[in-house]
Amino acid sequence: MGAIWPVLLFGLLLGMKHATEPDHVIAVSTIVSRTKKLSLSSLAGMFWGIGHTLTLLVVGMVMIAFERQIPEQVASYLEMTVGVMIVILGIASFRSTMSMDHHHHDDIHHLHIKSTLIGIIHGLAGSAGMVLLTMTTVKGTWMALSFILIFGLGTVIGMMLFTTFLGVPFVWMKARQQAMNQWMVKTVSLISIAYGVYYIYHIATEI
């Protein structure tokens, strides 16, 4: 029984590291850059982690139960959807700076849905790797379930910490200098669009 805890700790730390991968960070940054409260920045990270974990849990456990791997080509197309999503988020964020009405972007219900949806899409794209990691790390259905849940907890913690940290300059700047804040949001949006295009191209060349 004692041998289980190092494995679960490994899963937790791996989940925290996984949360800060570039595609995850850039996607969530487009939401965090438009929040007015630090608590909303933290919630964005939390709900991303929840959506990500739910997808990994459902897809991962089904694949593990049937002892199947997600086909490589299917995994590549799922990864490509992440690139498309990042581009769309970047465009939407940039367009928001063109409008004088920004209050709806901080609606809590809207934030929950959007952050969770981004997490779900990232979870789908990462499910192939998660299945392989789980099957090579632990044995048995209950251990696999525990490992994925702990990994998911790590992603929630990791992304919450990151989005809270990231939200500080945006919230601070929005309260003091609106023009500078708009410039920062546009910069994040353009980075998101550029990275998304690169991400799509990189995956497409491997299919």
Extents of the domains making up the chain: 4-15+22-204
Look at residues 142, 176, 153, 131 and name the one whose alpha carbon lies nearest to residue 53: 153
Q: Does 144 score more than 70 pLDDT?
A: yes
Give the least confident one: 15-24, 101-110, 197-206.
101-110
pTM: 0.87
Asked whether the CA dihedral 119, 193, 76, 10 is positive or negative, the reply is negative
How far is residue 133 from each of residues 10, 98, 130, 139, 156, measured CA to CA in Å?
A: 12, 43, 5, 11, 19
Decide if pLDDT at 108 tops 70: no
DSSP 106: G
Q: What does the chain come to in residues? A: 207
Question: What separation in angstroms does the CA of 180 have from each of 86, 133, 170, 172?
Answer: 23, 43, 9, 11
Range from 50-64, 112-126, 127-141, 176-190 carrying the lowest mean pLDDT: 176-190
- Percentage of residues in the chain with pLDDT exceeding 90? 54
